[in-house]
Structure 1
């Protein structure tokens, strides 16, 4: 027969594996009497585990949620997954980095050596776009408040801070609180966003959580509306790719095609969600998308290779605009070098800019 401590761990592992266990089946699995099972259940309760008795012909037990956090039992895969998740917590922007680091230290201390080596071999660093710094963090309490409102389907009232570069609508007068029906809390590019139906604008909106301050109390409950397309991932991808109509396909609004004078393997590693087709050892066809035609032209230019434009005409026009813009900038930076002749009636003042 197992020692009491080992038997308690085995009993706890069984209780975590399924919702309910008949007492007789637990006794059989542990190779003890039903009376011993009852005593071991009482010991687990003394340690803080909320083991509830289940009524029925055979009787049984269920591990429930308690008011305190008792010691936890994980298998090897669960322990490794937990440690990896704690290391990646710095990338969520949820303001829990310090708590995650302390939790990781606690988990690491109790890991067997074979698992500790696996965790120590993994090092993850949160890196945002160069020159942009890490994305602004969302307040943990705000995230919890928004998540609660989403789950309870309660209307939100909140103050929303405009970007620093945006002009104030009425100087000296704070804007009225926004009202919205919260549907999803999502992350994108290291930032947290709330996807909600804006009651004042009668349209779907995505709000940056780091600019949002909920007001208390929340409003009345609501019946959830159907998100355009029915899929929050596709909807958010559509909005952030620049398609402003909620029914637009989750694709880039501008997509073009060129033939690059570079080998396909060299291009494929930097094409992101583009499509690369090999045409010859030193040439490939690249189909790529972006949120504007000038932005797409600039993305293609970064491959630093000669190319031919396949289409569409909007992409050719964007290259022409950027070419004039770059030539003028180069001329202005070189004293005594005249810029390209300006044709009357032409201007880039209203051209799309990335």
Structure 2
């Protein structure tokens, strides 16, 4: 009886590992489970008998991967329940109804890769009616989101075609790190291998996603964090025409300014006297003043703006000062 319990627990652990990664080497799986290669092969056969399609991958880097079968594996779900769950996860992923997008996308990807094709077609058809479109363009494909979520989790390099905001098309080779929602869209934060720098990609502009199966070692993320990095990139793209322009000259060197401002210091320039020039722009004078409010306390600076913007800034500053003094 103890042997049966141990065997069942080990088989469930094997299933959990196979669902976590797209591909496992046989030696690594055996090491994780603390069993021999022969025992691993027996456990794989038990999963196959239960309805799970576990494919063997030959070769030097061979191993096992979990594929979709001809029926829903025994998850204690009927076909209807599995379809309902997949559609619910799609809606949650695209509408951002939950606080943990990575969890939602990973669950969606894990479920959909196990659904038989007839149920995936039903999910796709019903998803047309429950998946909202974005306010200003096509909606993001949940399939692509799920594939990217798996690549982020597995630390697997990917290739894809990308269409920039201006219409330029390119092919990218990247290390995906995180999916971040911003401005009613999903964005991929990735290390662009060809440009040797961090980049953000709007997922609905991404196509022809290809899994290379090449793993990568994680790099230190941008110091400001993934959400702030993506927010700054999105802000720059959506800024639009900015007729109000000027610059602030700060009494701090460029390195200190970048440390304090993070991605917002991207356009800053170091001056010969060691100070830093920070361009400011906006649609209204209030946008420029708002930017000035982010300069750290104690840092002296000079605002350089043309007339009549200078008078407008002074008038606004006088009104703010007067309002703050009122009791």
Which of the five TM-score ranges fits, normalised by the shorter chain?
0.3 to 0.5
Q: Could you tell me the TM-score, scaled by structure 1's length?
A: 0.37
More strand by share: 2
> Which structure exhibits the higher relative contact order, with contacts defined as CA atoms closer than 8 Å and separated by 6 or more residues?
2
Q: Could you tell me the TM-score, scaled by structure 2's length?
A: 0.40
More helix by share: 2
Larger radius of gyration: 1
